[in-house]
Structure 1
Amino acid sequence: MSQSTVSSAATHKVSGKATKMRYAVAFMLFLTVVINYMDRSNLSVAAPLISEEFGLDTAQQGLLLSAFGWTYAAMQLPGGWLVDRVQPRLLYPICLVLWSVATIFMGMAGSFIALIVLRLAVGGFEAPAYPINNKVVTAWFPERERATAIGFYTSGQFIGLALLTPALIWLQHALTWHWVFVVTGGVGVIWGLIWFFMYRNPVDSKKANAAEIEYIREGGGLVDLGSAKNKTAAPKLSKADFALVLGRRKLWGIYIGQFCLTSTLWFFLTWFPTYLVTYRHMDYIKTGFLTSLPFIAALAGVLISGVLSDYMLKRGVSLGTSRKLPIITGLLLSMSMIGAIFTDSTALVITFMSIAFFGNGLASITWSLVSALAPSRLIGLTGGMFNFIGNLSSIATPIVIGLLVSATDFGPAFIYMTVIAAAGILSYVFLVGQVQRVEG
């Protein structure tokens, strides 16, 4: 009996049509991203009170806000190496629990140094998260659905922040800043345990039938990726592997583009609440509400982006245009934040910020290009390099802004962010070129 006959028979035996387990997996990724970004942004919520309690100047605030990024970036390549070798079912909960425990201890820290050390730990343990997300979605989704799936789970970083930032500010106001970290860390520990018991790779899952697995496989999904049944040992990384992921112009295009894109994100995750409180003189409760508006705009952007990209692809638009057009348009819109320099109106400032963050959301399907371009045997390493270079912005953005701004003038920060966004556009236009998988 031929392989196709076996596959057809298996599909008929299990079900007349494919199950939809991949949608449940996308929802699990979504919840994980909500928790991931809640633990990234909780420090920005508490930063004004922490700075007041410990007497921190703007340079020290920038150092504390950047601490996450030092280890997050440094651990991307080791994290990518782990992602290529350890099943997502096991690696993700380990990382989740460890970064969540470090977050809980931040709520108990009694010094500036302790906060920095614990924040470094959070960044290091979160490092494999997005390469794991990319591996999971590459295994569970065909190419024609992948941007929508990536857009959906990426929206978790915005919907969580939009809805939870006001709640965390209220919690801080009702109790103390310490509880912001204890509560967010506790949620992560619980979810890490749930992930371990619920997640399976497509070919290991008892809830995905043969028809769904075949549908994913025929659409370009790598259904055996990260499977417990796949006993083939991952080859040792060689200098040639690193030369491959560092030596291709296309890959450098998305690496640089990701740095520029995430610079805007890290502005909102670090300095934006302080900007409203310190430079716009708003109280904490009002700040919590206004901070949520750009995140809501970003949520709309990222949801539109994934659906629009896959729609264009299904209508016959090339893969490159379908993926790159929303990204380039989003980076262009993110440049609008420079308008905040030219107005004293709070309403206009929030409008400019909302347009800018909508653009950031629209551009946030960049991981779809990792899935499309990365060598299939080096998905984790390429994702790690992509996230390493991209998230150097988590170090640069807080520190550069802390050095550029003065006690009364925040304008240089907006000029810097606009120039960075323009550089991202140039990278996608001139370096990425035609979108096709790098062989090697």
Structure 2
Amino acid sequence: MMVNFADKAVFGLAADEIRADLGLSATRFGLANSAFFLLFSLSAVVVGVLADRLSLKWLLLVMALLWSVAQVPPALGGGLAVLVGTRVVLGAAEGPAFPVAQQIAFSWFPNHRRNLPGALVTLGVTFGVITAAPTLTWVIDRHGWCSALWALAVAGLVWGAAWFGLGAIGRHREDRPGADPSGDEETGEETGAASGRASSWAAYRRVFGSRTWIGVTLAYFTSYWGVALMLVWLPSYLKNALGYSSGAAGTLVAVPWAVGAVVLLGQAAVTGRLMRRGVPSRWARGRVGAALLAVGALCLLGLPLVNGHAAKAVLLFLGFGFGGSFAAIAATTVAEVAPPRRRGGSLGTMNALVTTAGLIAPTVVGAMVDAQGHAGYQNAALAYAALLLVGALAAAVLIDPQRDAARTGAPLPERNRP
């Protein structure tokens, strides 16, 4: 996930350089970044379904190799068409990464122990940006943005080699007695009413029609809107609207991700403690997630009320840090409500719908900046705050995994089995 999000962050870090090199307006640059998400969502669905049948280890390896290859054409040179085309390919390869990575992590832990592992995988996103922001900014300033793409291609290949030698799947992939410990292939026949339901495509319809899945998807969509803005427009916001230098912006852009890391770990600790005490998931996951989104919204709504760039930056970092921290809750909640052999498709489809925010947000904000100038950045943050409030309401009202698991055919959590 660190490599995955460094790949995503590089264009935001090099936004001004790329726009100057290729003569792009803010709107056209936003469209180029939105192209990344053109096949991102579709591939998340397709690979998510395949993940229920194929080796998770090999799926992730193939995706990572494609990430690396996709960096090469724009690094060699070319215009806007090359840039857009390779971003489409990169998006298709990276779209399924988060749900597949979460599935692999979950395969090593029972349901009530998945909060911390899920948060740690999500922290890869944060660490990817925290390490990439200053490092890639330095490379871009001294050697140009094409050199940053070469660095990312090498990083992906190195990770692929390490994963090929060390990657493995845990024994909890199926969440049922007698499951194949390797988790690499489907084995055996399922028994029982729940397993019978899970073995048919109707199981997907039950999951997608559940209030929990709908609530998680809505809430995560609003959260991911901010993730897309942080990746594409936050460096420009800091430089153009708040007056920070390129070097300072390259460092400060990591701050909201660092805030998100602290929030993620805190959320994992709180959620895990509540669930070990027997608190229902609608509170331990749904209401905790709603609170994170609400805090983020309130921070961003305070932007017009403060003066000074430093005060605005603090509220901005807190708002994006809290608002963008719903991913781990989304993954663990869907994993709880989906039958094991439909978990990949359920996570992948959620991710596909959620990441359409990445297709829309960069273009919308680019148009706002072109139309409103520097004021467009703050207005975009306020619009994001309004979305977060909608997401918080959806999480608080709709999420109840224990209620919906009985309808979808998901197994009882391991700790509750006889």
TM-score normalised by structure 2 residue count: 0.88
Instruction: Please tell me whether residue 400 in structure 1 is matched to residue 375 in structure 2.
Output: no
Give the superposition deviation at 1:178.
0.6
Could you tell me how far apart the structure 1 residues matched to 2:359 and 2:185 are?
39
Aligned twin of 1:28: none
Task: Look up the SS of the partner of 1:140 in the other structure.
Answer: coil
Could you tell me how far apart the structure 2 residues matched to 1:187 and 1:364 are?
24
Could you tell me how far apart the structure 2 residues matched to 1:68 and 1:229 are?
31
Give the superposition deviation at 1:238.
6.8
Q: Provide, for residues 205-232 of structure 1, a one-character-per-residue CA deviation record: whole Å limited to 9, x for no partner.
A: xxxxxxxxxxx69987996376246445
Inter-CA distance 135–59: structure 2 relative to 1 (3 Å threshold): same
Q: Provide, for residues 313-339 of structure 1, a one-character-per-residue CA deviation record: whole Å limited to 9, x for no partner.
A: 112322221112331111012111233
1:71 touches 1:120 (CA, 8 Å); kept in 2?
Answer: yes
Amino acid at match of 1:414: A
- Point out which structure has higher relative CO (alpha carbons under 8 A, 6+ apart): 2
Could you tell me how far apart the structure 2 residues matched to 1:123 and 1:217 are?
26
Aligned twin of 1:377: 341
Identity %: 23
Instruction: Please tell me whether residue 349 in structure 1 is matched to residue 316 in structure 2.
Output: no
Inter-CA distance 48–318: structure 2 relative to 1 (3 Å threshold): same
Task: Look up the SS of the partner of 1:75 in the other structure.
Answer: helix
Aligned twin of 2:252: 290
1:300 touches 1:361 (CA, 8 Å); kept in 2?
Answer: no
Instruction: Please tell me whether residue 42 in structure 1 is matched to residue 10 in structure 2.
Output: yes
Aligned twin of 1:131: 99
Inter-CA distance 39–369: structure 2 relative to 1 (3 Å threshold): same
Amino acid at match of 2:135: A
Give the alignment of 1:1-400 within 5 angstroms.
33-203=1-171, 224=180, 227-228=183-184, 230-232=186-188, 240-335=202-297, 336-360=299-323, 362-365=325-328, 366-400=330-364
Could you tell me how far apart the structure 1 residues matched to 2:76 and 2:199 are?
40
Could you tell me how far apart the structure 2 residues matched to 1:322 and 1:35 are?
30
Gaps of 5+ in 2: 191-195, 410-418
Q: Provide, for residues 387-429 of structure 1, a one-character-per-residue CA deviation record: whole Å limited to 9, x for no partner.
A: 0111111111111212233223223202210111011011112
Gaps of 5+ in 1: 1-32, 204-215
Could you tell me how far apart the structure 2 residues matched to 1:79 and 1:341 are?
43
Q: Provide, for residues 216-260 of structure 1, a one-character-per-residue CA deviation record: whole Å limited to 9, x for no partner.
A: 699879963762464459999976355334322221111111111
Inter-CA distance 233–41: structure 2 relative to 1 (3 Å threshold): farther
TM-score normalised by structure 1 residue count: 0.84
Inter-CA distance 101–218: structure 2 relative to 1 (3 Å threshold): closer
Instruction: Please tell me whether residue 409 in structure 1 is matched to residue 409 in structure 2.
Output: no
Kindly tell me the number of residue pairs found equivalent between the two proteins: 396
Q: Which moved more, 1:320-329 or 1:237-246?
A: 237-246
Inter-CA distance 388–185: structure 2 relative to 1 (3 Å threshold): same
Q: Provide, for residues 69-122 of structure 1, a one-character-per-residue CA deviation record: whole Å limited to 9, x for no partner.
A: 121112121111221121112111100001121023332232011101100101
Aligned twin of 1:427: 394
